[in-house]
Amino acid sequence: MNQAALQKTFYGALTLVALVLLGIGLFAAGAAGLAFGLFAVLTLGGGLMCLWERSVVRSAFALMATFSGVAGFFVLLEADFLAMAQLLIYVGGILALILFAVMLTPPDLGERRLGRVLSGLVIVGAASTWLGSAVARSAHWAIAGAPLDGRAGHGSAEQIGVGFLAADQYVVAFELAAVVLTVALVAAVYIARRKRADLEPEQS
């Protein structure tokens, strides 16, 4: 099967799964279920497209769809601060850093070998399964109700600001996040200023 046929098969299957998820959400919970299905399609479908596509630009747009879907989940949870932080930091900042890193790094011709891809899928799948089971065992869902019904609000900008300023337990985490973002910016500038000779392998 050639590359064009693979592309059509992949996107056809992805579209079918997206329509099924949207239909299930609509019939299960109405408009709220449809919104949840839409954000799930953006998150999961964007991630799959980011892995599938060979074009850097298409992968970047797919990753932007994934970040936007996660922001949509925060909106459904009435966590407006987290939703805006997701868009501003990840879509506006981290995605640009990833693009700089990918475009300025020499390609690895063996990165798409089947054994390497399968080993990565096994490792990520096992880690995701373990993390999901750990969260399912320890999480206590204290809020029940439909999205955007006014019962949540734990992620509002006012409450998070008060938590950062009034409680000492979150100050260290906030400062560490700032350090991580600063290191990412410095690394992006360093990569962008490197010469082409530094990226080429040494001749033996």
Query: What pLDDT score was predicted for residue 23?
Result: 87
Query: What pLDDT score was predicted for residue 21?
Result: 84
Amino acid at position 123, single letter: I
198 pLDDT above the threshold of 70: no
Answer whether 167's CB lies under 8 Å from 93's CB.
Answer: no
Residues 6+ apart with CB under 8 A from 1: 9
Angle value at C-alpha 67, between 89 and 131, nearest 5 degrees: 105
Query: Burial level of 95, CB count in 10 A (0-12/13-18/19+)?
Result: middle
Answer whether 45's CB lies under 8 Å from 14's CB.
Answer: yes
Q: How many residues does the chain have?
A: 204
199 pLDDT above the threshold of 60: no
Q: What is the pTM of this model?
A: 0.66
Tens digit of each residue's pLDDT (9 = 90 or more) over 21-79: 888 888 887 888 888 888 988 898 888 888 777 777 788 888 888 988 998 888 888 77
Tens digit of each residue's pLDDT (9 = 90 or more) over 88-116: 888 777 777 777 767 766 666 666 666 77
List the structure tokens of 32.
Answer: 């709220």
84 pLDDT above the threshold of 70: yes
Q: Which domains, and CATH codes, for the chain?
A: 3-105+152-195 (1.20.120)
Answer whether 29's CB lies under 8 Å from 17's CB.
Answer: no
Angle value at C-alpha 44, between 33 and 112, nearest 5 degrees: 170
Q: What are phi and psi of 94, to 5 degrees?
A: -65, -40
Tens digit of each residue's pLDDT (9 = 90 or more) over 137-159: 887 766 555 565 555 555 566 66
Query: What pLDDT score was predicted for residue 178?
Result: 76
The span from the CA of 82 to the CA of 70, in Å, is: 10
Query: What pLDDT score was predicted for residue 112?
Result: 62
Among the listed residues 93, 98, 105, 97, the one whose alpha carbon sits nearest the alpha carbon of residue 194: 105
Among the listed residues 16, 15, 18, 10, the one whose alpha carbon sits nearest the alpha carbon of residue 34: 18
Query: What pLDDT score was predicted for residue 155?
Result: 52
| Mean pLDDT of the 1-30 span | 81
Across 50-196, the runs of DSSP E, i.e. the strands, are: none
